[in-house]
């Protein structure tokens, strides 16, 4: 569905992405994981053409991205940036339906889709007339997800969709997302720092370090056949308070 071939990216003389070839399969949820600044968001930006690669090629549905097809491709990709990126001057309703009404969707079609999505992400309809500043962080993330899903895109690019959420909401939303991804059969590429989240949601996990993909595989493969000490370190770095306690007590 989405394929990067020999892609590199540098900002100034700083190489942020080493030559990378990676393919994201139709209908799978792939997770990009790695430390802060390793190039996860950069990869997503390349895929939706917000930045252009220095070398190599990005293909969507077997067609290379170019100036001419960029807008069409973007309509088929739902992208949710790291902090949600909701427009503060628009109500929740306008934020979510902005693109559809710009593309000339009929009112009824818009309303139907809007209510489908509200149900999908478990939000109340009375939220629609509020502004982004008037709703909670978790609600904002869901609204951003609604916006990304509105045109029923083939691909979802989600950049830390659950940053800054409390653990309970986070865990609930993770469960909901897994449901949504499974039921819709979308190609999902999700960025996270959290190995637990990666294990829970990802069919495939790509571990990144300093602009390189170190290993690609399922969570089981990463645990049992790590190909780099960093992979082991990264998986073990996540604290589990309950295990910690048990270890201390024994």
Partner 1 sequence: MRERLPILQLGCLLLIASPLLAKEPPPLAVGAKAFTESVTLAEIATLLGKASGVEMKPTTELGGTRVLWSALKSGEIDVYPEYTGTIREELFRGESLSDFDAIRKRLAEEGISMTDPLGFNNTYAIGVKRSLAEKLNLKTISDLKSHANLTYGFGNEFMDRADGWPSLKTTYGLNPAEIRGMEHALAYRALAADEIQVTDAYSTDPNIRQFNLQILQDDRFHFPRYDAIYLYRTELEQSHPQFVARLKEMSGKLSDEQMLALNQEVELGDKTSAVVAAQFVREAFRINVSVESGGLISRIWRTTLDHLFLVIISLFAAILIGVPAGVIAAKTKLPGQIILGAAEIVQTIPGLALLVFMGVIFIRIDLPSIGAFPVIVALFLYSLLPIIRNAMVGLNEIPASLQESATALGLNWSARLRLVELPLAAPLILAGIKTTAVINVGYAALGGLIGAGGYGQPIMTGLRLNSERLMLEGAIPAAFMALAVKLLFEKTERFVVPKGLRLQEE
Ligand X SMILES: Nc1ncnc2c1ncn2[C@@H]1O[C@H](COP(=O)(O)OP(=O)(O)OP(=O)(O)O)[C@@H](O)[C@H]1O
User: Position of tokens 């990144």?
Assistant: 208
Whole-angstrom Cα distance, residue 196 to residue 201?
A: 9
Asked if 89 is part of the footprint of partner 1 (rule: CB under 8 A), the reply reads: yes
| Piece of 13-21, 35-43, 52-60, 149-157 that binds Mg ion (CB under 5 A) | 35-43
Q: Which one of 10, 41, 69, 172 is in contact with Mg ion (CB under 5 A)?
A: 41
Q: State the virtual CA torsion across 108, 114, 118, 119 in degrees, nearest 10.
A: 50
| Piece of 26-34, 87-95, 174-182, 235-243 that binds partner 1 (CB under 8 A) | 87-95
Asked if 86 is part of the footprint of partner 1 (rule: CB under 8 A), the reply reads: yes
Query: Cβ of residue 184: shortest distance to partner 1, in angstroms?
Result: 19
Structure tokens at 54: 């220095």
Side-chain half-sphere of 232: how many Cα atoms within 13 Å? Answer: 6
From the CB of residue 119, how many other CB atoms can be counted at a distance below 10 Å?
10
Whole-angstrom Cα distance, residue 39 to residue 177?
A: 24
User: Position of tokens 């493969």?
Assistant: 221
| 147, containing H or E segment | helix 137-149
- Which of ligand X, partner 1, Mg ion, none lies near 55, with the C-beta cut-off 5 to 8 A by kind? none
- Which of ligand X, partner 1, Mg ion, none lies near 132, with the C-beta cut-off 5 to 8 A by kind? partner 1
- Which of partner 1, ligand X, Mg ion, none lies near 185, with the C-beta cut-off 5 to 8 A by kind? none
Structure tokens at 136: 């909670």
| Piece of 26-34, 57-65, 96-104, 228-236 that binds partner 1 (CB under 8 A) | 96-104
From the CB of residue 65, how many other CB atoms can be counted at a distance below 10 Å?
20
| Piece of 5-13, 44-52, 190-198, 229-237 that binds partner 1 (CB under 8 A) | 44-52
List contacts with partner 1 (CB under 8 A). Answer: 45, 48, 50, 70-75, 77, 79, 81-83, 85-91, 98-99, 102, 131-134, 147
List contacts with Mg ion (CB under 5 A). Answer: 41
């Amino acid at each position: 569905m989405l394929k990067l071939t020999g892609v590199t990216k540098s900002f100034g003389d700083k190489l942020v992405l080493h030559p990378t070839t990676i393919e994201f399969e139709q209908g799978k949820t792939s997770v990009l994981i790695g430390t802060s600044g390793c190039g996860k968001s950069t990869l997503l930006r390349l895929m939706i053409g917000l930045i252009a690669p220095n070398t190599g090629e990005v293909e969507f549905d077997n067609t290379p991205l170019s100036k001419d097809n960029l807008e069409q491709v973007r309509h088929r990709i739902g992208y949710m940036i790291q902090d949600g990126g909701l427009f503060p001057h628009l109500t929740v309703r306008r934020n979510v339906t902005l693109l559809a009404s710009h593309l000339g969707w009929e009112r009824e079609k818009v309303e139907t889709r809007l209510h489908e999505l509200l149900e999908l992400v478990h939000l109340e309809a009375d939220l629609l007339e509020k502004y982004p500043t008037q709703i909670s962080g978790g609600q904002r993330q869901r609204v951003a997800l609604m916006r990304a899903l509105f045109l029923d895109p083939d691909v979802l690019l989600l950049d830390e969709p659950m940053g800054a959420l409390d653990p309970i909401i986070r865990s609930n939303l993770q469960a909901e997302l897994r449901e949504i991804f499974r039921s819709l059969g979308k190609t999902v590429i999700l960025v996270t720092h959290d190995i637990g989240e990666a294990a829970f949601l990802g069919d495939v996990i790509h571990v990144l370090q300093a602009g390189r993909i170190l290993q690609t595989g399922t969570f089981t493969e990463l645990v049992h056949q790590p190909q780099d000490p960093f992979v082991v370190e990264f998986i073990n770095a996540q604290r589990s308070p309950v295990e910690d306690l048990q270890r201390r007590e024994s």
